[in-house]
Copies of this chain bind each other. A is one copy, B any other.
Amino acid sequence: MRAKTPPRARLDVDERRRQLVALGSQLFSARTYDEVSIDELARAAGISKGLLYHYFPTKRDFYVATVRHAAKDLLDRSFLPSDMNPIERLQGGLDAFLDYVSEHGTAYISLLRSGIGADPEVARIVDETREAFSMRLIEGLGVDAPGPLVRVALRGWVGFVEAATVDWLSSGQAAKRESLRAIFVEVLFSTVQIAAAAK
């Protein structure tokens, strides 16, 4: 059997995939899916297109892996110890979220923008991330067994944060960041009160 791959590609497969995903996340952060070509991804990684296809059979597979990586990264970075003061924990989580999306603005906006047809895997990752945030809120707010109205309102609030953030990023951050964060916190408390009191 002839070794067709260059020596630097002979890293452990998982480790190499991880490196490629980190690189892909960077490239997809600054530009959209359509703007980044497989040629460019391979060139940036210093490997052949063929070898890149060995790790990720299609450009879509590569993109999905970067979305999964970004979702995990966002959840990790916005996680704060559960014994913190609840308001500070919420504010800290929102700060981490706003940091993250400010760094990855293009990718974030592009992920949430409407396209032609949904992709089941990408949609699932995004939905699971929203669900994870909702679960954290339920836990952090100390809501026991929330009814369907509180649940739907929390998902609504996650949508509020997303939509306001996309608008804020697209407008060149016209509003002050601390004000935005303060609105998110106040709207959350008000929303939970409203939903908990609703019949």
List A84-133 residues whose CB lies under 8 Å from chain B.
110-119, 122-123, 125-126, 130
Expressed in whole angstroms, the Cα–Cα distance for A190 and B195 within the complex equals 12
B32 touches A183 (CB 8 A): no
- Distance in Å: Cβ of A135 to nearest Cβ of chain B: 14
How many positions in chain A have a CB within 8 Å of any CB in the partner chain?
54
B119 touches A115 (CB 8 A): yes
List A156-185 residues whose CB lies under 8 Å from chain B.
156-164, 166-168, 171, 174-175, 179-180, 182-183
Say which residue of B116, B125, B126, B198 sits within 8 Å of A119 (CB atoms): B116
B175 touches A186 (CB 8 A): no
B183 touches A195 (CB 8 A): yes
Expressed in whole angstroms, the Cα–Cα distance for A166 and B162 within the complex equals 14
A152 touches B180 (CB 8 A): yes
B175 touches A152 (CB 8 A): yes
A187 within 8 A of B: yes
Say which residue of B116, B152, B161, B162 sits within 8 Å of A115 (CB atoms): B116
Say which residue of B33, B112, B167 sits within 8 Å of A152 (CB atoms): B167
Which chain B residue shows the least CB distance to A190? B190
A153 touches B149 (CB 8 A): no
Expressed in whole angstroms, the Cα–Cα distance for A158 and B199 within the complex equals 22
- Distance in Å: Cβ of A185 to nearest Cβ of chain B: 9
